[in-house]
Amino acid sequence: MRLNRRTFLGSMTAFGASVAFPVLGQESLTDMFSRNSVLRSADPTGNTAAAAALIATNEPILSYDTLYNLQLAISQYEPFVAAGGWEEVPQRAFKLNLGKSDPAVVQLKRRLISSGDMPLVEFANDMFDADTDRAVRAFQARHGLVVNGWIDEATWYALNVPAATRLQQLYLNYTRVQQMAPQLTERYVVVNIPAATIEAVGGSMVEQRHTAVVGRADRATPILASKIHQINFNPYWHVPKSLVRRDLTKYMLENPNYLAEQNIFIYDGSGNTISPATIDWANITDSQVNYMYRQEPGAENSMGHCKINFYNKHDVYLHDTPSKALFGENARFHSSGCVRVEGVNELVTWLLRDNGDWDRGRVDQTFSSLERLDVSVKGQVPIHTTYITAWANKQGTVSFRDDVYDFDEQGKITFEG
């Protein structure tokens, strides 16, 4: 029988915590099979695909379906937390992966069984076998981590978040979703900041999902509700004054050719070009900060090939980026408040659905042409930037994310846009 949260928590409640945890067997798999045998029997690629399937349902994070699923998750976690939760995974488990043998694997297996990521077994041996690899990848997918099967730093820390903390996240996020669900329309975009992901929703189903890069803690992406009203193709980027003082001055002191390499030009209030060599970057004046610093369209443009505008007082927007490698990271909190979108051409095509002949081919061609073009979005699409650190889907998969802005710690339920 494969363990799920309901059966495991039921056994916890009926028989106590001790019976649910397997113990080290008298005859381990390492006595029967070699490391090479374990490696041959495993299917890491298939395990990664199975992990992805656990979270790939079409319910939006913001929806009444999620509200119902969260309620079920809470009912399952409550008795488990009351019974003592799960045990910690020791630090010696760090960097373990498929084929390794170590006593810490026993505790790792107990932890993965307790959260329903691994089947319940009669005996847990100390071999990191194919089942353990599959379970670790499932755990990583549920927590928004790079799915690699390794007990890397991010995975080890996520494993050791107490069950009581996870239950508190479920409570908080149930209330957050409950408050926001009535605001939702037929078609909308959600930026979930803790997950650093974007959902394009239509007809109560997720039609597109995108990996994102959002604001770091000291330059947070604001939480708001607005409407997407315009696409700027191949835009200029006007460097915000705050970034001129905080970032450009530092970069220019390190590399006097930085502006030229980034195709950034400086203009005064009359539109005259200013030479970077005339500015003392170590002692830049307020009037020089107030110059216009404009990056031309092209491969190095910080907004990539497009900017997606929505009404807000914070001067933030969605945009493309030349820094594609950031999308592959665990913690995608690098921006100064704006949101970078992976696969932005697909999202732009979705947003311009009602604009006539703006199919994917035309969007891609406009990107590559470097033509400056602004297109108004017909039927302006609602957008919600929000803060959901726990949710569940119809398969019973419960996902968690880190409390990157400490809003869970503060117990925040409502946010001002």
Short-list 218, 190, 212, CA closest to 202: 190
pLDDT of res. 304: 93
Statement: residue 339 has pLDDT above 80: yes
What SS3 class is residue 9?
Answer: helix
Statement: residue 414 has pLDDT above 50: yes
Mean pLDDT, the chain, rounded, equals 89
Instruction: Please state, in angstroms and rounded to a whole number, the distance separating the CA atoms of residues 161 and 200.
Output: 30
Query: What is the pTM assigned to this prediction?
Result: 0.84
Q: Half-sphere exposure of residue 130, counting CA atoms within 13 Å on the CB side?
A: 15
Among residues 143, 210, 305, 338, the one annotated as catalytic is 338
CB < 8 Å & 24+ apart, contacts of 275-280:
276/252, 279/252
Distances (CA, A) of 201 to 189, 211, 322, 381, 383: 6, 15, 26, 10, 10
Q: Domain boundaries in the chain?
A: 5-165, 195-235+302-386, 238-295
Both structure tokens of 267? 């203009």
Is 338 tagged catalytic? yes
- 10 Å CB burial of residue 301 (0-12, 13-18, 19+) is buried
Statement: residue 35 has pLDDT above 90: no
Asked if residue 214 lies in contact with residue 193, where contact means CB atoms within 8 angstroms, the answer is yes
At 155-213, the pLDDT tens digits run 999 999 999 999 999 999 999 999 999 999 999 999 999 999 999 999 999 999 999 99
Statement: residue 23 has pLDDT above 50: no
At 111-142, the pLDDT tens digits run 999 999 999 888 889 999 999 999 999 999 99
pLDDT of res. 300: 81
Q: What is the mean pLDDT of residues 45-71?
A: 94
Number of residues in the chain: 417
pLDDT of res. 330: 85
pLDDT of res. 353: 96
Per the model's pLDDT, the better-predicted residue between 40 and 43 turns out to be 43
End-to-end CA distance of the chain: 48
Statement: residue 54 has pLDDT above 90: yes
Is 319 tagged catalytic? yes
Q: What is the DSSP string of 128-192?
A: --HHHHHHHHHHHHHTT---SSS--HHHHHHHTS-HHHHHHHHHHHHHHHHHHGGG--SEEEEEE
Options 1.10.443.10, 1.10.150.20, 1.10.357.10, 1.10.101.10; CATH for 5-165 is: 1.10.101.10
Among residues 143, 210, 319, 384, the one annotated as catalytic is 319
The CATH class given to the 195-235+302-386 domain equals: mainly beta
At 267-306, the pLDDT tens digits run 999 999 999 999 999 999 999 999 999 999 987 898 999 9
Q: What are phi and psi of 47, to 5 degrees?
A: -65, -40
Asked if residue 238 lies in contact with residue 294, where contact means CB atoms within 8 angstroms, the answer is yes
Instruction: Please state, in angstroms and rounded to a whole number, the distance separating the CA atoms of residues 371 and 362.
Output: 12
> Confidence class of residue 416 from pLDDT cuts 50, 70 and 90?
low
Looking at residue 186, its amino acid is E
pLDDT of res. 65: 94
At 76-117, the pLDDT tens digits run 999 999 999 999 999 999 999 999 999 999 999 999 999 999
At 300-329, the pLDDT tens digits run 898 999 999 999 999 999 999 998 999 999
Instruction: Please state, in angstroms and rounded to a whole number, the distance separating the CA atoms of residues 249 and 243.
Output: 9
